[in-house]
Structure 1
Amino acid sequence: MKARYISQGSVTEVILEHQTYIHVGLWSRASSVGVTVDTTPPIQGDVICPSHIRTTDDLKCSWSGFYDAESGIAYYLFAVGLAEEDDSVYPFTVVVPPEHDYTANGPFEHQTYYVTITAINNVGDSTNLFSQPIYVDETPPVGGRVVELTGVDEQSFQFGDGDVEERLHCMTFEDCISEAAICQKSLDRILVAWEPFQDTESPIIRYQLAVGTSPGGAQLKTFYDVDTNNGLFALITGINLYDVRQAFVSLRGFNAAGLHTTVVSNGIFISRVSAGLPPLNGSYVWDGNGEEDLDYQDTNEVLHGQWSFDGDPCPKLKYEWSIDHINGTVVQPVVETSDEFGMNDGFNMKNGETYYLVVRATNLLGYASSLRSNGITIQLEPLAPRDVRDGAVYGFDLNYQSSITTLSANWDAFGLHSIEAIGQSGGQVIDHYEIAAGTDKRYPNTRDDIHRFVDVGLNTSHTFTDLQLIPETWTYYVTVRAYAVSTAMVEVTSNGIRVGFGGELLSQGQINIQRYIPSTISLTVSWSNFRFVLPVLFYNFGIGSNTSILHSLSCKDLQTPVFSEYHPDKDVGLQHLFQEWTEVGKDTLVEQTGLNLEDKQTYTAVVMATDESGHCSLVSSDFTVDVTPPSAGTLKIGAFEGEVIPVHVDEVYCSCAVYRFATLIFWVELWKVT
């Protein structure tokens, strides 16, 4: 027999015996091992299944404690159904020991399920075990509110959970709402409370907290499980709020299906001033009502101010501001306001004198801090307009130009430039210029229809490029706006320029000057034959000693202005090249006097012609200064030195051998013998 266990009868063990007779009178006997008789089913164990799952989850259950002393457990059957012993959802499946868990793959519909575990012993007897109802929940919990609480700044507030419970100022969440904090000065902890999350389908089983610098963020502390045995509150520690403006607490609530909802607090501001720390950047008091701090204004009837104390993130309860004279006299007593600006038009300020604002801010924690402005000076002098000249030739107004892709303009300073204003008084100080190009100076919308206004700083010339201008048809205008530091502004438009004219040289000129001149203080130079398509507008003449550089220059190099830091409206680019560089109008002869030339030194004379379109041509010529007379030599007549030779007394000219009659510069070409 093969059966080790049987289920018949009441005997617990049976032994089978077999005898064999051999014809020679011998017997053979054999006995089986014991056969256990099992008449009872297995003893029930325990089954563990989740109480709630999502529709997309797999259903995993495990079991233990099934026992059969007689024949043991042969296998298990696992099934999922809509009732106990039902396998309509997941049919009975064999699980062979020692395996004691099984996973039914999802998805599942939104219903209630039961798991049936059947344990079958080795004689076929079975025992069923059923799970608790398993609910499918696909909706997350409904979140409650979370708030930061006051009291965390109190010195007696400790870190232990029991102390937290004792120090809470509220017993219900509604009470906690009234204790909600907007600011705190603590830099390493936040106290929070929250109301319970709600879920009608599955219970809330745990909460998690995180702290970040943005709503929903976890930059300061990542999500961690919270112990809620003592209530729905927590003291969050282990955070660094030293450089944080506002911290936000995020709270997650999980239901039994593993679904969660996150809610975020309104945030709490960290008040550095209240903690005795310097404010973060962002605090200031500005004079004026513009987009930046003003140092001057051109009216003495009203004074504006604006301020920001954002360096202390805690919202402000109130501001108190006053106006003081530079000598310390209080012009306006303290005025309380909730605004971040102020205005006083009830007094007359004196021209040239300085006033400043003093502002004190009190935050919601009751801490106050004060700042003062750097002062504003009353400057009633008008901003003087200046001529705006068309063309790229600095200092000249052109009516024509050859280029149809560029427009240039230059102008004199409308007032004092910042670097010049040091140590000076009177006149407006220029902050910057703006320049635009248009087709008609009469209307605002046509003054910048070629190119909009651009900020050019303190430059007093500018060129627009990459334009598409119509040749020989339109007149184009350039408009310059000058803005003073006092906010005053004046606008001037040029008299216009036409494009597509000139730009062609017909004849290169020539310069007429002696190769050697006998004077260090005077010089006469003339020139001729400069011819352009348009008439010559003016000539420039100059004398320089750096001949190699001067011969390599082009006339455009000399037309391009160069401005220094200390003279931003004065062309200083030619000072190091010439002793003299002057505009001589249309004259073609110059008699220079008062020069400072050196003997035996070579110089270069430069003449530049410019026509009415700004087109130019340049010629140059070298000359040498020689003011030294020839040195005396000797005359030898005859075969021997000192020999007396009679000659006729009449004055004659002859060719003779002459020695040592020479200058450093010239060869002597003619001698007179008497």
Structure 2
Amino acid sequence: AVGETTRVNVTVDFISGVRYAVDVRATNGVGLQATASSASFVVDDTPPTEGVVRVVAEHVADAAPMPPISKQASWDKIALQWGGFTDDESGIRGYEVCIGTSPLADDIVPCEDVGIVYAFEADASQASIFDPAYLATLSDEQLDALPANVTIFYATVRATNLAGLVVAESSESVQVDVSAPEAGEVTDGSNLDDEEWLLGAADGSPMRACAVASGFIDGETGIAYYELAVGSPNDAEAYRGFERVAPEAQAVSGITDENVFEILCADGIAAAHGAEVVFTVRAFNGVGHSVDASSDGAIVVRDPPAAGTVVDVVSEYDGMDDDVDIFTNRSG
């Protein structure tokens, strides 16, 4: 009994996950009673279980799980999916999405309430961390704490249950590469000597022509592959348009890093004797940005030299067989 009060505090050792209700019994002066019950409630003193967060190639609402990506070409769109967050006691009330330079951080895109969804697309292109006006407001200590070169991000999802408890989980890191590779050098021929001549068959049949690509570098996502075009000084694709080529397996003298120096060859080049052939290499990084570089050209040689004339000349002959000087004058 609690007397005539209409409010009372009761200490109970509630068990998480168990559903409870409060019953109140009122008794009048002649002993008649009435009972009323509260709405039931569940005690939840634990946060939701962690799920899995993936940064994916594109945003598609209600799509099946997509494979995660590890790199992308811009900050404009960051698509992510998540799943596996559960709360058996009170359920999930909603999700927040954050983008940061480290796991669980939101220094690129502040945490945003997105409700009950399982995919979202964030736009980090206008993030304050890239804004000179914002950076100008920071102290030297705050500036020193920022990443020197913001090229990696993590996507974080925060799940909140109906009891207000939160769990957060982050994706794997994603490398952003907004620039093309650094152009290298292209030399004619299959070695680093930059050959002046390319040998072709005398019958004029299409030839195999090679060039060496060296020094193409991409600091963020690396060089993924090359395309090769074979042309003339006035038309880079005169003999063959850009096509993806696999580097040759053989080693080149002087090369120490096979990922930087590559031999690239093309078959079926129908260049005539005396034609100048120019190789253009297009190097792609891991997100598809590319850069071109061309060789200085080499001359195709198919025909042998034209035969000249050989003339024997006798001079200073004095009639003695052992005193004849003979020299040959070759002309042509």
TM-score, normalised to structure 2's length?
Answer: 0.47
Q: Give the structure with higher Rg (CA).
A: 1
Bigger RCO (CA 8 Å, 6+ sep):
2
